[in-house]
Amino acid sequence: MEISENALIKGIKRFETPSGKIIRGIGDDGAVVDVEEGSYVFVQDAMTEHIHFEFSFMDGYDIGRKALYINISDILAMGALPLYFMVTIGIPAKMSYKTIQRIYRGMRRAAREFNVSLLGGDTTEAKTDFFIDVSMVGKVVTKYYLGRNRAEKGDLIGVTGVLGESAYGLSLLREGRTGKGLMRFINRYRAPKPPYAVWKELVKHDITTSMMDVSDGLIIDLEKMMTESKKGARVNLDEIPMPRLLRKERKESLALAGGEDYQFLFTFLPDRRETITTITKMGFPISIIGEVVTGKGVRLFEKGKEKKVIQKGYEHFGGTV
Amino acid sequence: MEISENALIKGIKRFETPSGKIIRGIGDDGAVVDVEEGSYVFVQDAMTEHIHFEFSFMDGYDIGRKALYINISDILAMGALPLYFMVTIGIPAKMSYKTIQRIYRGMRRAAREFNVSLLGGDTTEAKTDFFIDVSMVGKVVTKYYLGRNRAEKGDLIGVTGVLGESAYGLSLLREGRTGKGLMRFINRYRAPKPPYAVWKELVKHDITTSMMDVSDGLIIDLEKMMTESKKGARVNLDEIPMPRLLRKERKESLALAGGEDYQFLFTFLPDRRETITTITKMGFPISIIGEVVTGKGVRLFEKGKEKKVIQKGYEHFGGTV
């Protein structure tokens, strides 16, 4: 990079958002914040070059914005609203200051959308590959935090929005296809903004017994929820919401196992089905895809017949994909 | 790595420390913690392979422990006690599970020493080089947080312990010298445990006007403090505490600019000089190295004569070293 660390930090300081609760921001050994009593959620999630993204598919702005979205998604999934974040970026020598500014601009965009403030972090050299690592804190706004561990037998399983769009977007980028009708998939891959409006409705109606975001893929994530809840799940493949194009191109697996959807997966009591219908009619799509049973793991059904689970989703380090 | 992400996370879960305030730990989208009202300090500091360390000089245990120490040091420097931390590790394919366990064991050691609890974080693949990025939160225990911005004209400048040990230790490793009398320098480089006992005395006596830790090097860090305080400093080179060996080998610059000392640099009112003497007599070494003046920057004096500042300390991205 062509500027000094001091100059870089001065540049980053411009991305701070003033807040009466931040007593001391960037420029010291740490940030100081006035915190009120309550339950708080802490998350930390990174993106590394060549593993999570390529600069040929996303620019700095997209990367900064997405690094925030994936952390905001985790905070929301716990029933909390995001408040503050810190970020470490590992900067290889080849990276330009302009790219770094784009990364911070992308973060600022997402930070403004969700009213979360930058507290500081670290800027460091990286020998070869760029990485961005965001930590975030939010305050629980539900009666009891939402988690993966309270699904009960008989609960129905719901998911917001449409699955597979992001993974399909990535596959289009890899194939070099960027037609007009395809940009919405690519955009969902680049900027998976958490579906805040439907989240608000779910929280307002206090409807979920368990909740998580779909990041690694529907099946693997549902399996994680069932493990934490010590239950099993039956999923009806016909009900999984996906773009028509995926069924047409026989790429249904992207909706089941593609990952990076950043939609919300949740369980709820069957007698709340009507509330779900009401929320859906308000224009916030929710699909009821199955139910919680005793036992463990996830079983898939299509037109009443059981199907074998082949692809589960993304697991690092030689996992199941 | 030879195990799956799921198995890895299960392994990491063993490093959790149970706490009544942690309502939900590893295993969900985020950790949930009961927080009481107050001022809190947030820090985040990373170490990257080939930039901050080499595996040939430090093993996983050292790296995990040091990653925690450098964050604990920042928390203490703000007048706070550390409470919780999260950690992201970027794991290249070549790294063994055993090394990762050593990293978490090193973190656990430091966490126990300072009573700080692991909340979670991220384990991710890294294409080429390993990195570790720790975020930490602590609670301010001083009347008003300590920072870099309240040094006043006439204040004296103090520093704890001895400077240059860590940088000298690194130089020994680079030169392949590991004699018996030299191990304490190498150990200080590998495990720069923050000097908690002297910190406690400083805080107990409410003595500091400004405080920071020495991480990049005495001169560059003092310059940062003066910039934030809008003042200047005069430093007496004869008073800078360093190992006799450094003067003998004409490596005094390591004490001025070597960095990674993780001692505390602070300013205090001249009428508190006696308290400093008392603390020193208790066995907690403190050196009074200069005074705060109007103006800006750091001026060096030796036997009353001004010396030119040549080396300031470590700055990333083509800085001044």
Q: What is the set of domains in chain B, with CATH numbers? A: 7-140 (3.30.1330.10), 156-307 (3.90.650.10)
Contact B91 A317 (CB under 8 A): yes
Do B275 and B235 meet the contact criterion of CB atoms below 8 Å apart?
Answer: no
Reported ipTM exceeds the 0.85 cut: yes
Instruction: Tell me what percent of the residues of chain A surpass a pLDDT of 70.
Output: 96
Select from A30, A48, A318 the Cβ nearest to the Cβ of B90.
Answer: A48
Contacts of residue A41 in chain B, CB cutoff 8 Å? 30-33
Contact A30 B149 (CB under 8 A): no
Nearest chain A Cα distance for residue B147, angstroms: 6
Contacts of residue B88 in chain A, CB cutoff 8 Å? 44-46, 133
Three-state SS at B169: helix
Select from B127, B145, B318 the Cβ nearest to the Cβ of A23.
Answer: B145
- Ranges of chain B with pLDDT below 70: 311-321
pLDDT value of residue B321? 32
Segment among A76-85, A104-113, B199-208, B302-311 with least mean pLDDT: B302-311
Chain A (179-238) residues lying within 8 Å, Cβ to Cβ, of chain B: 212-213, 228
Interchain CB contact of B128 with A (< 8 Å): yes
Q: Has residue A78 got a pLDDT over 50?
A: yes
Contact B44 A135 (CB under 8 A): yes
Q: Has residue A126 got a pLDDT over 50?
A: yes
Contact B30 A43 (CB under 8 A): yes
Least CA distance to A34: which residue of chain B? B39
Nearest chain B Cα distance for residue A147, angstroms: 6
pLDDT value of residue A48? 96
- C-alpha to C-alpha distance for A40 and A138, rounded to whole angstroms: 6
- C-alpha to C-alpha distance for A55 and A94, rounded to whole angstroms: 13
Substitution target in B1, B29, B148 with the highest count of A β-carbons within 10 Å is B29
Q: Has residue A310 got a pLDDT over 80?
A: no
pLDDT value of residue A315? 58
Contacts of residue B138 in chain A, CB cutoff 8 Å? 30
Q: What's the whole-number mean pLDDT along residues A165-179?
A: 94
Interchain CB contact of B77 with A (< 8 Å): yes
How far is C-alpha B132 from the geometric centre of its chain's CA atoms? 15
Nearest chain A Cα distance for residue B48, angstroms: 6
* Sign (positive or negative) of CA dihedral B271, B274, B280, B282: negative
Contact B127 A317 (CB under 8 A): no
Interchain CB contact of B124 with A (< 8 Å): yes
Interchain CB contact of A4 with B (< 8 Å): yes
Cα radius of gyration (chain B): 20
Tokens 């006439």 found at: B154
Contacts of residue B24 in chain A, CB cutoff 8 Å? 78, 145, 147, 149
pLDDT top residue among B8 and A49: A49
Beta strand A264-268 pairing with A208-213: antiparallel
Question: Which residues lie across from B80 on neighbouring strands?
Answer: B140
pLDDT value of residue B50? 94
Q: Which residues are CB-contacts of A185 (< 8 A; sequence separation ≥ 6)?
A: A165, A166, A168, A169, A172, A243
Nearest chain B Cα distance for residue A266, angstroms: 13
Residue A223 CA: distances (Å) to CA of A227, A238, A295, B37, B86: 6, 19, 12, 37, 24
Q: Has residue A247 got a pLDDT over 50?
A: yes
- C-alpha to C-alpha distance for B74 and B209, rounded to whole angstroms: 16
Contacts of residue A75 in chain B, CB cutoff 8 Å? 29-30
Interchain CB contact of A126 with B (< 8 Å): yes
